[in-house]
Structure 1
C-alpha cells in the first residue's frame, strides 16, 4: 500500500473530463495545487465524442411538460430520439418517477430559472477560461440553425423560444432565401428554421479538452491514473483510496467523475439518482458536406456539427446504464436520416462512438458540498451540457473551495434536493 503525504493546499479532483479540467484550471487561478485522478484516459468519456457546442442558449430543461407528450411516441421507436431498453426499464423506474415530478409545470419553471442563471455564469466563465488558457483559436462563433419540417412544428416550439426571449437570448426565425443562405443544400421538407447567432462550437471537443489539460499541466498540475474506491474525510483533509491500494491525502477533494460519480457519493452518505444518457454519433471524414454551422433536427433528437476532424452526426437519448453494450443501430439510424435531410451528404468512412452523459431527473447538475464534509465538493450530473457548463462549474467550485459566496444560489443544485 502506497500513501502520499498530505499537502494542505492541494485539491484532488476525481475525473479528468472537461468538467474536472475546468475545475482544475480555475483552482490554479486561485493559487491552489491540483491533482487529477482519472480511471481511464484524459477526456476519454463524454468529453471525447460530444457535439462540441457551447449551448448557452439551451436553457430549457429536458424534464418539461412538453417531453411528457412526446415521450410515449418516441419510446415506441427503439431507434428514436428517446429509448429505454426493455430489460433496463425495472432499474430506471425510480429515476423516471422523479423525472415525471420534475416535469410538472411549477418544478419546470423553477429549473428553467436556475438553468438560465447557471448559463449566464457559464458563458462568462468560459470566455475568461478560453482566453486565459489560450484556446480562442479553437472556438467558432457561427451560430446554430434549428430546423422544422412544417409551420406547425415551428409553432409548437414557439413557447420555448418565448422563454428564451425572456432570458435575453437572441434568435431569428428564418424561411426561404434566408434559410438557404444559412445552410445551402437542405432537403425541401424543411420549410423554416430558427437561427441563434451567438451559439458557439469548438473545433473538436476532444482536442479542446486535451489543450485545456496541457494548460493545466503547464501550470504545475499533476495526474494520477487509477480508479477511486472511496473518499474519507480526515481531521486535516481528505483521504482518497484507489482500487490498486494507493492512498492519496489532500486538503480538499472534488468529485467530477461524470457518470461514475454515483457510488462515490453513496459512500459519503448521499443517495443521488444519477443515470446515464447514452449518446451515439458517427463522425464522417472532412468534406463530407458543405456544412456552414451546427444544425439541430429537434423533432428527431440529433445535431450535425462541423469539426476540424470531420462532420459529426449524433445525439438522441438512450437511458440504459453503464453496463449494456452499445447499440450502434442508433448511430446508423441518425446517419440515414441525415442523408435524407442533407442530400449530397457522403456517408462513407465514418467512425461510430457511444458515450455516457451523467443525467439527473430535473436536468440540473449537483454542485455543492457532500453530506460527509464540506472539504468534499460534488460537481457532476450535467447531462448533455457538460462542455457548456464546465467553466461555470469550475468558477463555482473554486468559490466553494476558497470559502467565497458563489455567483448564484446553490440550493437548487444541492445533493440532498431529491
Structure 2
C-alpha cells in the first residue's frame, strides 16, 4: 500500500508552523500539518501576546552578561539557571557569552532589525488574508522605570532603538499617568512606544490561522514524528513505529523540540529553552490600558481578552525539569508593587518553552544535510512577533522564490 504523499509537510502547529502552513496552503498544493499535541497547545497557547517589533536587542548583550553571574543562580531572578542544569547547558552558554562581543551584537541587531521590518509588513498581510485583522490591537506599549537611576541605566537601549528608526516618547508626570492610571508612586519614568502592537489572545490568533489553513485544504493531524529521512524523491516522515508519510518538502517548526528532529538529519543545532512563566487573572483584576513592560525584571503585564496576564522572565532549564512556579509568584509580587490596585486572587499559572539560540536569532534555512528540509525555529520569546516574516521566508524557500531579506544571519550552518 502506497504511503500518503504531500507537496509540503509542516512539523509543528505553533504560531510559526501554522503561519507557514497557511501561506503554503494558499498555493493550492497539498499541505500536511503535524503536531504531537494539537494546534497552539504549547508555547503559542500562553504567551504575552506582544507583536514586539521594537524588540531588536539580542538576549546576549553587555548589560545581561555583566549581570548574568549574579542572576543565573538566583532561582527567582529575571534570568535564572538551576545549578543542576549547568553542566548540560555549558556548551550553549559558551556560545551565548561569545555572542555578546561588540561586533557580534551589532551584526545580530542588524539582522534582527531586518527581520522585524519584514515581520511588521508581513503580519498585516497575513492577518488580513486569514481574516483576523481585528485581533490586532494598536495601543502601543509602556515601559516603566522606578527612579531616575533605573531610567538612566536603560538609555543605551533606547539610543540603539532610535538609531534603528524606532519611534518612542519619554514620559513622566501627568502624561505617564494618562497612559496608565493607577501606577504606584515608585514609578517615575516611562517610555511609550506607539508602534508596539498586541493581540487579543495569542491562542485565538494561532488557532484562527490554523483553521484558515485547513479551510484552504491543508490537513491537520495529531501525531508524534519519530524519524525524518531524505530520499531520492522527497522526505520520509515516520509517525510512530508502523506508519510513514512522505512529502516533497518538509518544514521543521517544532519550537523547542526542533533540534531533536534536526539531529535525525545529522545536524547539531545549539537550541536551548527559555522557560517562561505567567499568571492570568480575570479582566477585572486591573484596568490595563496597554501592555506594560518592566524591563529591569524581564516581564510584562498584558491586557488580553481572557484577562490580565503577568509573565515573562527567562529560566534556562531545558525541557524535562518540573516547573518552578515560585517564578510566577515573584513576578506577581513585583507587579503588585507597580500596580497597587492589582487584584491577585483567582490567577491561573502557566509555563511555556521558548526555543532559544545563543545569538537570539532564529534558524531559518535549508537543512545542511537534507536540502528538502527547511528549518524554521529558535525564535526565543519573539515567535508571535516574527511568525509572519518566518512564514514568508519559509514559503519562498519551499517554492524557490527570491528571499525577502538576507538569509545568511539565520542559516543553520552559522553554528
Measured after TM superposition, the shift of residue 157 of structure 1 is 1.1
C-alpha separation in 2, matches of 1:349 and 1:415: 43
Measured after TM superposition, the shift of residue 42 of structure 1 is 1.0
Once the two structures are superposed, residues 27-60 of structure 1 have per-residue CA deviations (whole angstroms, 9 ceiling, x without a partner) of 1233332110101121011100100000011011
Q: Normalised by the size of structure 2, how large is the TM-score?
A: 0.98
Q: Do the aligned residues in 2 keep the contact of 1:37 with 1:225 (CA within 8 Å)? A: yes
Poorly superposed stretches of 4+, deviation over 4 Å = none
- 2:294 is matched with 297
Once the two structures are superposed, residues 117-175 of structure 1 have per-residue CA deviations (whole angstroms, 9 ceiling, x without a partner) of 00111111110001111111111100000011122222221111111112111100100
Query: Structure 1: which 5+ residue stretches go unaligned?
Result: none
Query: Structure 2: which 5+ residue stretches go unaligned?
Result: none
C-alpha separation in 1, matches of 2:176 and 2:67: 26
Measured after TM superposition, the shift of residue 6 of structure 1 is 2.5
Measured after TM superposition, the shift of residue 379 of structure 1 is 0.2
C-alpha separation in 1, matches of 2:242 and 2:11: 16
- 2:146 is matched with 149
Measured after TM superposition, the shift of residue 244 of structure 1 is 4.4
Q: Normalised by the size of structure 1, how large is the TM-score?
A: 0.97
- 2:259 is matched with 262
Q: 2:158 aligns with which of 156, 161, 180?
A: 161
- 2:25 is matched with 28
State the number of aligned residues: 415
- 1:271 is matched with 268
Q: 2:81 aligns with which of 80, 84, 102?
A: 84
C-alpha separation in 2, matches of 1:287 and 1:265: 44
Q: 2:231 aligns with which of 234, 237, 255?
A: 234
C-alpha separation in 1, matches of 2:242 and 2:348: 37
Aligned CA-pair RMSD: 1.1
Counterparts of 1:11-410 in structure 2 under 5 Å? Answer: 11-410=8-407
- 2:4 is matched with 5
Q: Do the aligned residues in 2 keep the contact of 1:364 with 1:382 (CA within 8 Å)? A: yes
User: 1:289/1:3 Cα in 2 relative to 1: closer, same or farther (>3 Å)?
Assistant: farther
C-alpha separation in 1, matches of 2:3 and 2:261: 20
C-alpha separation in 1, matches of 2:180 and 2:2: 57
Once the two structures are superposed, residues 393-412 of structure 1 have per-residue CA deviations (whole angstroms, 9 ceiling, x without a partner) of 00000000111121111111
